[in-house]
Structure 1
């Protein structure tokens, strides 16, 4: 997988009816081909919540565990008999997708910096055109289905700005945010696929000798070899006597610190590694965008220098992103086929250059009670920041609550592996 481009331009939605028609017709095939998702399930009583809002403007907002989540939302639009718009990171619009995604209703937003064009487009779609917009508030594809990144406040903020536009236009003040959670579940016991993938990774790393008796033990040994190679590559010596988990944490923090120092910035903020990694991506994009609208030759040269400096930093952050799932306890805490495959896919990208393991999956979608922003409009006008932060936390809590209930849907591994992780 190639790291995304740092500077694509803003791309507005250019909905093309025949493209949407073809997408709806061939959606099951596309879901199967791109993500091995052969089934989408929504509980009937929760689908009724969305049905009641079928003809209203709304924001559909949920977790973002995989790159095919927008296709699941597209499936929901098809079933609802509506056309959604989708807010997506600019770096997704590359190659053929630069034409296809806008034709399907997508438009771009720049990570880490205020994107005026994206904000204006969102407000126009909601207030002037009464559209239904899909926004993933994590801002990143996290690839860990049971965990979420902290939600960013932009979803709620843009919703209130759209309410201000509705008031100015003299239209009824109503804008619900509909929380949803997506969980991908294996439709088979994937031990056979996991064993084959571990064998490929062991062969690529020249790990000889008899395989360890458990799947988890084999996965951990592969992780140790990858971490040792990464430490040697960057010249980082782990603390004496550090455990594998401590070495992973120290290596990640060392690499993040190196990127921050190159940009002459303080350590990236965030309570977790994933938050700091997201802050690192945002900082690189902000660094590049400073002279993005250059009007003189000198400013264009400055911008080019920044691009040249930022490119290797972006590559390094992209590699760190591939390691976001590599910890010493993520799989052990809840031994399921889904968690195993998430980590294996990351290791395959690092070791083999691409993911080679996939199994048939079901996407289970939960839909929560809508949050009507208009009910909080008076509070917003009295204290904008506090109201936006409070409702962002409430939205995150609703999505996380739905996701926790879905954790029980995971496919358990065999008993010996459970014992080994204890």
Structure 2
């Protein structure tokens, strides 16, 4: 049984950025240690090596930014929770080092404001909001149609701050270093707004968006740990039956067959769960002309749709957009039931109203668990492992399955088991000029919307190219 929130909570207040260079300096000083200690068993595996390609591009851009010639936004890939630390390492250590080697003069700090998801402080603690604020972070409520506080703050920083701003256009982690999730249009929109605001202020800076890809890999392929974790998941799920035929198969083929078997078992169990207790019907998926793993993905997507539909009906939310969009909107709906903006003082409520508010919060949190299970698998595809059967992709997939089982067992997602030390490769792409695009579509709303759409698509293509290079 998941451990639900059992009482209503105060509203989630906006945490304004209060950038403090001293706090940033302390963070940068201890950054290698912070990255390394994340190898503790109850936290994700730590990063022991970070390298960058084309960091000179960023060094030159910072030089021009500090000279008042340009404004830019760093649009970075967001595969894992470690990404903010990796980006901090890139900006605080690698870029200044490259600048010194190339004779490019830079002023301290080489840093950026950044947007982070407001919910991070709920599972990490209030200390994270304090730290992110002092490091220049802007919290955003992802599910809100318009988070005015966040948008206005980020828009102002993009135009006027002494350092650039960084945003993950995917909106959240997807657990896949080798796959880019659909991008949200906010980054492109921010770019066009920045050009407009500069024009209104009679300023001549050119606006750029810089695509940055982050890819993680294990220093030593953790095949034994993957086998161990998969065995643990099989045991925890109660999977029993015939063993995989290992005759003539290598370890990758055997592990892949075990993953498929476990996935099919889990999907079947969850279908029965929703059929029996939520009165959902699951008709047989026609398997003609599709492979076994494609059939499995179709069943997974149907299961995700079922979980989201149940939650949407409870919160009276219309299903719109892709799985990611639906998860975001449900997250916001759930928070509105738990973190009550309409209650000025929770403690002043009479016992009846307090009891009802607690009841609503507890049930909302429990309903959101359906969404969380679906959220774990939004990036899963039929051929991710088959395209490149590397230990990294096997590990990513098995860890997502671990997340799913953990949510059902405990609700509060525990730290993932460590599979080994990791390294990161950060690749800086070529700057995309937003100013040039804005000049083509200014003054025409339809052309403006198309310009935002085209820029979003071009940024997606650029990020995909960077992770494949």
> In which range does the TM-score fall when normalised by the shorter chain?
0.7 to 0.9
Match of 2:58 among 32, 50, 54: 50
Displacement after TM superposition at 1:144 (Å):
1.6
Match of 2:283 among 225, 235, 239: 239
Deviations 1:6-64 (A, max 9, x none): 95221121223332122111112222333421111112xx1111111113132000221
Is the CA contact 1:287–1:306 (under 8 Å) kept in the aligned structure 2? no
Match of 2:77 among 47, 63, 77: 63
Q: Is the partner of 1:146 in helix, strand or coil? A: coil
What's the RMSD between the two structures over aligned residues? 3.1
Change (3 A) 1:180 1:6: farther
Q: Is the partner of 2:212 in helix, strand or coil? A: strand
Displacement after TM superposition at 1:90 (Å):
0.8
Q: Is the partner of 1:52 in helix, strand or coil? A: helix
Q: Which residue of 1 aligns with 2:396?
A: 342
Q: Is the partner of 1:139 in helix, strand or coil? A: coil
Distance in 2 (CA, whole Å) between partners of 1:329 and 1:167 is 47
Match of 1:98 among 122, 129, 136: 129
Is the CA contact 1:181–1:403 (under 8 Å) kept in the aligned structure 2? yes
Change (3 A) 1:308 1:200: closer
Displacement after TM superposition at 1:326 (Å):
5.3
Is the CA contact 1:288–1:306 (under 8 Å) kept in the aligned structure 2? no
Displacement after TM superposition at 1:77 (Å):
1.5
Deviations 1:311-355 (A, max 9, x none): 333222112122335555432343111111111112222335542
Is the CA contact 1:10–1:108 (under 8 Å) kept in the aligned structure 2? yes
Match of 2:426 among 365, 368, 379: 365
Q: Which residue of 2 aligns with 1:29?
A: 33
Distance in 1 (CA, whole Å) between partners of 2:11 and 2:243 is 45
Q: Say yes or no: does 1:127 pair with 2:159.
A: yes
Q: Which residue of 2 aligns with 1:267?
A: 319
Deviations 1:270-295 (A, max 9, x none): 3xxxxx23323224415755997548
Unaligned runs of 5+ in 2: 39-44, 66-70, 97-109, 247-253, 287-294
Structure of greater relative contact order (alpha carbons < 8 Å, 6+ residues apart): 2
Q: Say yes or no: does 1:398 pair with 2:430.
A: no
Q: Which residue of 2 aligns with 1:332?
A: 386
Change (3 A) 1:203 1:84: same
TM-score, length-scaled by structure 2: 0.76
Match of 1:226 among 247, 266, 270: 266
Distance in 2 (CA, whole Å) between partners of 1:3 and 1:150 is 31
Q: Which moved more, 1:27-36 or 1:3-12?
A: 3-12
Distance in 1 (CA, whole Å) between partners of 2:23 and 2:162 is 22
Q: Which residue of 1 aligns with 2:50?
A: 40
Q: Which residue of 1 aligns with 2:221?
A: 189
Deviations 1:245-276 (A, max 9, x none): 34323212222222233333443323xxxxx2
Match of 1:112 among 143, 152, 159: 143
Q: Which residue of 1 aligns with 2:449?
A: 385
Match of 1:320 among 367, 374, 379: 374
Is the CA contact 1:277–1:321 (under 8 Å) kept in the aligned structure 2? yes
Distance in 2 (CA, whole Å) between partners of 1:381 and 1:127 is 18
Distance in 1 (CA, whole Å) between partners of 2:340 and 2:281 is 38
TM-score, length-scaled by structure 1: 0.84
Deviations 1:352-374 (A, max 9, x none): 55421322221111111101222
Is the CA contact 1:42–1:364 (under 8 Å) kept in the aligned structure 2? yes
Change (3 A) 1:344 1:361: same
Q: Say yes or no: does 1:311 pair with 2:365.
A: yes
Is the CA contact 1:345–1:357 (under 8 Å) kept in the aligned structure 2? no
Q: Which residue of 2 aligns with 1:282?
A: 329
Q: Is the partner of 1:362 in helix, strand or coil? A: strand
Displacement after TM superposition at 1:87 (Å):
0.5
Is the CA contact 1:61–1:180 (under 8 Å) kept in the aligned structure 2? yes
